[in-house]
Amino acid sequence: MNLKICIALLSLVAAGTVYAETPAELLNGYAGEAARSAPDFAPSVERGKSFFARKWGVSSKMPNCQSCHGGNLTQEGKHVITGKRIAPLSPLANTKRFTSSAKVEKWFKRNCNDVVGRECTAAEKADLIKFFNNPGVKS
Ligand code: HEC
């Protein structure tokens, strides 16, 4: 790495600058974490898709992730309790998605606890983001 870039990066870190992250960076971060305990781990659209649609039997009001985000992630969802609109979860339709690890962690934590009854693992988060990046056709 050349010195100028190195200094620029160091000053960014030193300033604690909150710069935008990308869905790919966040995905790689979770995948890397998952690979520490499962070296063969590779994020899967299919696993993410079935996780998102699965009814966990924890909450009757919000049985699955689709309860609020809907079945088509390039379209708006609707909060099952408040009725508020939720912007599309897929980065394909909403460029603000998966650009802040703090926001992503906050909502994974809350939503996984509510729907799944526990926090999601790094592997599950990687699968989910991989799916959100590739939501395919309406299910
Ligand atoms: C009770 C309604 C509800 C359910 C059920 C729900 N979510 Fe959410 N989710 C929200 C709301 C509200 C937000 C925050 C508002 C926003 O970002 O549009 C959000 C935001 C998120 C975000 C933040 C993404 C970003 O970068 O902005 C992720 C990730 C997420 N949800 C994943 C999930 C997953 C995975 C599940 C299932 C385990 C789930 N959600 C179930 C309501 C819900």
Reference 27, options 86, 115, 108; nearest CA is 108
Q: How far is the CA of 34 from the centre of ligand 1 (A)?
A: 21
Checking if the pLDDT of 105 tops 60, the result is: yes
CB of 30 closer than 8 Å to CB of 122:
yes
For ligand 1, atom 11, the nearest C-alpha belongs to 86
Q: Answer yes or no: is the C-beta of 130 below 6 A from any ligand 1 atom.
A: no
Q: What is the pLDDT of residues 48-77, one digit of tens each?
A: 999 999 999 999 999 999 999 999 999 999
Question: What value does the mean pLDDT take over residues 11-18?
Answer: 55
Mean pLDDT of 14-28: 79
Task: Write down the pLDDT at residue 14.
Answer: 55
Tokens 């526990």, residue located: 118
| Joined tokens for residue 71 | 């079945």
Query: Would you say how long the chain is, in residues?
Result: 139
